[in-house]
Amino acid sequence: MFDSVGIDGYNSFMTKRFGVSIPDELLAKLDKLAKKKGYSNRSEVLRDLVRDRFVEEEWATPAGEVVGTVTLVYNHHAHDLSDKLADLQHSHFQNIISTTHIHLDPHNCLEVLVVRGKSQKVKEIADRLIATKGVKHGKLVMTSTGKELV
Ligand code: NI
């Protein structure tokens, strides 16, 4: 157990060691996963798994304050699609805090939107964007404001 206090005070944390009973097979799978993903040790992979579960909880709370990214791939020649997507984004300008547009080729566009707000609202916006007719692929990556994570 040790204390670590960062210069800015944000990295203040304590670390505890504890024993965990876990079936051999599950531990072997965990070690395999850690190796595959490039973790340097079991503790780090476990911490990340726990944090990931807490991020899931943040998103499961409809009023939870969350951050995410919406990735969209679409053909900008598709009828009215660019206008529809722009209209949707303007309707939710408070929640869409950044947009990056990349012209992938003469036809296809990639957009990455940074979205923030109550989880329920952010999910609704993402669903509507992704479900817009003509969007070839869309994905919401749900992450965290970091405030509730250590
Ligand atoms: Ni484009």
- What are the residue ranges spanned by the domains of the chain? 22-60, 65-143
Compute how many other C-beta atoms are within 10 angstroms of the C-beta atom of residue 84. 18
Q: What is the mean pLDDT of residues 118-123?
A: 96
Ligand 1: centre distance to CA 104 (Å): 7
Predicted confidence (pLDDT) at residue 3 exceeds the cutoff of 60: no
1.10.760.10, 3.30.70.100, 1.10.1220.10, 3.40.430.10: CATH of 22-60: 1.10.1220.10
User: Does the structural domain 65-143 have CATH classification 3.40.718.10?
Assistant: no
% of the chain exceeding 70 in pLDDT: 91
What count of Cα atoms within 13 Å lies in the side-chain half-sphere of residue 96?
22
Q: What is the mean pLDDT of residues 40-63?
A: 94
- CA–CA distance, 6 with 8 (Å, rounded to integer): 5
Ligand 1: centre distance to CA 106 (Å): 8
- Per-chain residues with Cβ under 5 A from ion ligand 1: 103, 109
Same-fold call for 22-60 versus 65-143: no
Q: What is the pTM of this model?
A: 0.84
Q: What is the mean pLDDT of residues 10-31?
A: 87
Ligand 1: centre distance to CA 46 (Å): 40
Mean pLDDT taken over the chain: 91
Q: What is the mean pLDDT of residues 115-121?
A: 97
Task: Look at residue 5 in the predicted model and tell me its pLDDT.
Answer: 47
Ligand 1: centre distance to CA 91 (Å): 21
CA 8 to chain centre: 25
Ligand 1: centre distance to CA 138 (Å): 15
Compute how many other C-beta atoms are within 10 angstroms of the C-beta atom of residue 15. 10
Task: Look at residue 79 in the predicted model and tell me its pLDDT.
Answer: 84
Ligand 1: centre distance to CA 10 (Å): 39
Q: What is the mean pLDDT of residues 26-43?
A: 95
Ligand 1: centre distance to CA 103 (Å): 4
DSSP letters, 35-77, are HHHT-SSHHHHHHHHHHHHHHHHHHHSTT-EEEEEEEEEEETT
Ligand 1: centre distance to CA 139 (Å): 18
